[in-house]
Amino acid sequence: MHAVRRYAFEDKAADYRALAAELGALLAGERDLIANAANTAALLYEALPEVNWAGFYFLRGQELVVGPFQGKPACVRIALGRGVCGTAAAERRTLLVPDVHAFPGHIACDSASRAELVVPLQCADELVGVLDLDSPRSGRFDAEDALGVEALAERFVSASHIPSARAAR
Ligand code: SME
């Protein structure tokens, strides 16, 4: 059993560094993408305060398909360019949305969600999917959270075997 540490996130940079080390230890010795995604989602959901959804969407053709997550059941398929997730994926950049109601085209999976942070996952320049966090509190995520979660996403990608989309074509 992995006992998840509770972080106060008063010093966000330090706590994200500690959480990244914890994630590295949790994933050590395992390369399976689904197993690692499941444990990453569970760790983030437990460790991050005020988060009501934490999980993955993976790229399948021209759309994102939901992967392992914690939180309420979510919409399964999101076209590239749609919603916060599809926009982050299409533009391959982190999207920090303080108020989802102000984001045109936001896809509501849980009506309690107010803020969202979506980080694209990339491996050797190929888009793999996104890591998505939702919070019931407007403005929950800031630039430090974005940096911290980007580092967590990189740990997840480097720890996992990512089947190459090019090889599959
Ligand atoms: N809100 C996201 C959809 C995914 S859920 O939040 C889990 C979006 O607009 O892309």
Closest residue by CA, ligand 1 atom 2: 107
Which is the closest atom of ligand 1 to the Cα of 87? 10
Distance (angstroms) between ligand 1 centre and the Cα of 77 equals 10
pLDDT for 168: 47
Place 4 in a pLDDT band, splitting at 50, 70 and 90: confident
pLDDT for 144: 97
**How does pLDDT run across 92-132, given as a tens digit for each residue?**
999 999 999 999 999 998 899 999 999 999 999 999 999 99
Which is the closest atom of ligand 1 to the Cα of 107? 9
Comparing CA positions, the residue from 95, 72, 81 lying closest to residue 145 is 95
Measured between alpha carbons, how far is 32 from 72 in angstroms, rounded to an integer? Answer: 24
Place 169 in a pLDDT band, splitting at 50, 70 and 90: very low
Distance (angstroms) between ligand 1 centre and the Cα of 84 equals 6
Mean pLDDT, rounded, for 33-39: 98
With a 6 A CB cut-off, is 107 part of the ligand 1 pocket?
A: yes
Handedness of CA 30, 66, 20, 135 (dihedral sign): negative
Distance (angstroms) between ligand 1 centre and the Cα of 111 equals 11
Distance (angstroms) between ligand 1 centre and the Cα of 29 equals 31
**How does pLDDT run across 157-168, given as a tens digit for each residue?**
999 999 876 554
Q: In this structure, how many other beta carbons lie within 10 angstroms of the beta carbon of residue 56?
A: 26
What percentage of the chain reaches a pLDDT higher than 70?
97
Measured between alpha carbons, how far is 164 from 99 in angstroms, rounded to an integer? Answer: 35
**How does pLDDT run across 143-155, given as a tens digit for each residue?**
999 999 999 999 9
What is the reported pTM?
0.96
With a 6 A CB cut-off, is 151 part of the ligand 1 pocket?
A: no
pLDDT for 163: 87
**How does pLDDT run across 39-95, given as a tens digit for each residue?**
999 999 999 999 999 999 999 999 999 999 999 999 999 999 999 999 999 999 999
- Contact status, residue 55 vs residue 40, Cβ threshold 8 Å: no
**How does pLDDT run across 134-145, given as a tens digit for each residue?**
999 999 999 999
pLDDT for 140: 98
The encoded tokens of residue 121 equal 């996952």
Walk me through the domains of the chain, giving residue ranges and CATH numbers: 12-168 (3.30.450.40)
pLDDT for 146: 98
- pLDDT of residue 1 exceeding 80, the answer is no
Distance (angstroms) between ligand 1 centre and the Cα of 53 equals 9
Q: Which of 78, 91, 117 to mutate to test the pocket of ligand 1 (most atoms within 8 A of CB)?
A: 78
